[in-house]
């Protein structure tokens, strides 16, 4: 099988590339702005990497859509701070650039595996979010935070509609995937990383962990190896099981409040060999208006139903919260120390 991955150096892209090259005989074509996270993988004989921008290198993309069997357009802005600060960049990249790709995949009769998101459910009140029944609940227009959710939801609907005209597709919805190289220390310095990397970077930089609006809001954290295992099942598509389906890929057992997350990471960091004995920064509370700006609104609970993923794909997550955080922390600290030593 030939797989085209756009955004191949991203968090999901580079973990997926490593798994495909290790476990299958598939060929990968990949594009991204850089190959930093990919490292040595970029030289693998079954991997054609090209440095490029999806909004510029359009001919390369169209040519490779024709060559590939399955296309994963993973390029997107996916950090809430940017949704609020630059909503039009989210629309242009996440929606417009991806729409062009969806249309080409349909035109050339190929299969698309599209990253939807847990965010499409928004402030849904269901105890468990169900792909086929839960309502998708967004806030008012002035709350720019929802532009990402709205762009992804619209693409889900467009892909679904093309599906009725013959497009082969699967939508998968990651629920707070975490792991090595989720976000860099550089984005964390600007305060625009996703929460796990933000808290780890704060500890590393000796700054207080900032818990937004009391920290009672909850997320289900999914270790990236589990998430990638689910995505591999989607790609392998045994007997066409994933065709035309939507799958939540999340870990309902790792359901924690943001405050609990802060406490767990603080404790792990305090005990970590590189830190033992030193003072650990405190946890402080901040207001979301100060932290993100007026356009922010939060999601209080977000638990996936994984019934479909279990029954149809034969997938379920295995990695506990403690192991997931430990591995993420270890990788972050090793990388931060190495880059500091290199400077």
When the beta carbons of 5 and 78 are compared against ligand UGA, the nearer one is 78
Q: How far is the CB of 7 from ligand UGA (least distance, A)?
A: 13
Q: Considering only the stretches 27-35, 41-49, 60-68, 174-182, report the one whose residues sit in contact with ligand UGA under the rule CB under 6 A.
A: 174-182
Binding status of residue 210 toward ligand UGA by CB under 6 A: yes
Q: How far is the CB of 1 from ligand UGA (least distance, A)?
A: 27
Instruction: Give the CA-trace dihedral at 280, 282, 288, 289, to 10 degrees.
Output: -100
292: which 2 tokens? 């993100």
Binding status of residue 309 toward ligand UGA by CB under 6 A: no
Instruction: Give the CA-trace dihedral at 21, 31, 33, 195, to 10 degrees.
Output: -60
Residues 5/35, Cβ–Cβ less than 8 Å: no
Q: Considering only the stretches 28-36, 56-64, 204-212, 263-271, report the one whose residues sit in contact with ligand UGA under the rule CB under 6 A.
A: 204-212
Q: How far is the CB of 35 from ligand UGA (least distance, A)?
A: 22
Binding status of residue 134 toward ligand UGA by CB under 6 A: no
Give the Cα separation of 126 and 61 in Å (integer). Answer: 39
Position among 9, 17, 98, 117 found at the interface with ligand UGA (CB under 6 A): 117
Integer CA distances (angstroms), 154 to 114, 145, 148, 150, in order:
12, 15, 10, 6
Binding status of residue 195 toward ligand UGA by CB under 6 A: yes
Give me the phi and psi of 134, to 5 degrees please. Answer: -70, 140
Give the Cα separation of 27 and 37 in Å (integer). Answer: 19
Containing 218, the helix (H) or strand (E) segment is strand 218-220
Restricted to residues 257-286, the positions that interact with ligand UGA (CB under 6 A) are 258
When the beta carbons of 148 and 162 are compared against ligand UGA, the nearer one is 148
Binding status of residue 219 toward ligand UGA by CB under 6 A: yes
Binding status of residue 153 toward ligand UGA by CB under 6 A: no
Q: How far is the CB of 148 from ligand UGA (least distance, A)?
A: 6
Identify the burial level of 275 via C-beta atoms within 10 angstroms of its C-beta, where 0-12 means exposed, 13-18 middle and 19 or more buried. Answer: middle
- Listing DSSP states for 118-159 in one string gives GGGGBT---SSB-TTT---B---TT-TTHHHHHHHHHHHHHH
- From the list 303, 179, 182, 309, the residue with the least C-alpha distance to 253 is 303
| Angle between helix 98-107 and helix 58-67 axes, rounded to 10 deg | 40
Position among 212, 246, 268, 309 found at the interface with ligand UGA (CB under 6 A): 212
When the beta carbons of 29 and 221 are compared against ligand UGA, the nearer one is 221
335: which 2 tokens? 């990388």
Containing 58, the helix (H) or strand (E) segment is helix 58-67
Binding status of residue 305 toward ligand UGA by CB under 6 A: no
Q: Considering only the stretches 87-95, 126-134, 171-179, 330-338, report the one whose residues sit in contact with ligand UGA under the rule CB under 6 A.
A: 171-179
When the beta carbons of 217 and 254 are compared against ligand UGA, the nearer one is 217
Binding status of residue 298 toward ligand UGA by CB under 6 A: yes
Binding status of residue 122 toward ligand UGA by CB under 6 A: no
Q: How far is the CB of 308 from ligand UGA (least distance, A)?
A: 17
Give residues in contact with ligand UGA (CB under 6 A).
78, 80, 117-119, 148, 174-176, 194-195, 198, 210-212, 215, 217, 219, 258, 298
């Amino acid at each position: 099988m030939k797989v085209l991955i756009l955004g191949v150096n991203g968090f999901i892209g580079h973990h997926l590339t490593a798994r495909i090259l290790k476990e299958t005989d598939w060929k990968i074509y990949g594009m991204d702005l850089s190959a930093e996270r990919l490292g040595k993988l970029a030289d693998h004989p079954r991997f054609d990497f090209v440095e490029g921008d999806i909004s510029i290198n359009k001919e390369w993309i169209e040519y490779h859509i024709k060559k590939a069997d399955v296309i994963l357009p993973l390029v997107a802005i996916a950090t809430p701070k940017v949704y609020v600060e630059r909503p039009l960049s989210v629309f242009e990249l996440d929606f417009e650039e991806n729409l062009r790709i969806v249309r080409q995949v349909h035109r050339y009769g190929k299969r698309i595996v599209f990253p939807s998101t847990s965010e499409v459910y928004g402030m849904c009140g269901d105890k468990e979010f169900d792909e086929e029944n839960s309502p998708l609940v967004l806030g008012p227009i002035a709350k720019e935070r929802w532009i990402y959710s709205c762009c992804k939801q619209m693409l889900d609907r467009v892909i679904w509609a093309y599906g009725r005209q013959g497009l082969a597709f699967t939508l998968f919805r990651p629920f707070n995937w975490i792991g090595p190289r989720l976000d860099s220390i550089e984005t964390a310095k600007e305060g625009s990383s996703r929460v796990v990397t933000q808290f780890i970077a704060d500890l590393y930089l000796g700054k207080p962990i900032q818990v937004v609006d009391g920290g009672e809001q909850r997320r289900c954290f999914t270790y990236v190896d589990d998430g990638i295992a689910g995505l591999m099942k989607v790609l392998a598509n045994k007997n066409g099981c994933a065709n035309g389906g939507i799958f939540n890929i999340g870990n309902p057992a790792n359901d924690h409040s943001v405050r609990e997350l802060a406490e767990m990471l603080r404790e792990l960091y305090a005990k970590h060999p590189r830190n033992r004995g030193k003072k650990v920064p405190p946890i402080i509370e901040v207001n979301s208006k100060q932290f993100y700006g007026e356009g922010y609104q939060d999601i209080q609970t977000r638990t996936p139903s994984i019934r479909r993923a279990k029954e149809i794909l034969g997938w379920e997550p295995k990695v506990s919260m403690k192991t997931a955080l430990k591995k993420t922390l270890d990788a972050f600290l090793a990388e931060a120390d190495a880059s500091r030593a290199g400077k």
